[in-house]
Copies of this chain bind each other. A is one copy, B any other.
């Protein structure tokens, strides 16, 4: 296309999109046939001169979702638009909202839903509406009671999701990470704990997030790991954690000894799920999101536009 056509296509686009003229009218104004105008408009679109944005907190980016499904082998992908987002909190809220929407629309309605905990999961539990399902049993899939600063958010998350879904919650009464392997094995041997984990294994849907491997991690905040521990994990290649288990960019366990002291489903058990929904957003989690998708820890990903583009192009 030469410069004259480029300018014409811009003039045509202005008249078409800003002035609501018909292609025929534009043709008369610019002394072109209406077919030429149609072709100019098509080219303007194709060459990216025209950007159409949907400005709404709950808007999604369907073309990116499609690419994620096709190029990264996901069963489903939900990508929230970051158009007009102010803060990273808003992005987080949008993503949680989208995850709640997805869960609500999920068919068949899960009978047993395995959940992790953390900031993202708590927000999802808040965004869910009463009656989002009928009779869902929610079970925690990794440990984490009471050590974190605002005690009970892990429990509140599971209970909230269950209550609003007209079902009950089964909590995993155990710390996330034990200091000694023997203690962890003892806890897992406990009848109640073993029963919960067995129930978790049988869940038909898992819902979990991922954490970045940095000092702002909930594991540091909760006191399960020190900042030095995290630094060491990063040195070994960790990009983040899923259900408390730290992975590298290929999804492999970074520190098997630490992993052995972590209570809850293993990553392989997570991978075996019929449906595994990962909710991951924010620039800090680009790397871990990539690891989660690459290693097939999830079959459904709920994320934001920038993270999604990172997965596709980065």
Contact = CB atoms under 8 A, between A and B. Distances in A.
A220 to B, nearest CB: 38
Given A10-B59, A59-B10, A17 B51 contact: no
Interface residues of A, number: 25
Contact of A52 (B51, B58, B61): B51
A22 to B, nearest CB: 15
Contact of A18 (B17, B44, B54, B56): B54
Contacts of A71: none
B49 A52 contact: no
A49 B49 CA distance: 20
A44 B17 CA distance: 15
A51 B53 contact: yes
Nearest to A64: B18
Contact of A14 (B10, B18, B49, B62): B62
A10 B54 contact: yes
Interface in A21-60: 44, 48-56, 58-60
Contacts of A161: none
Interface string A264-292: 00000000000000000000000000000
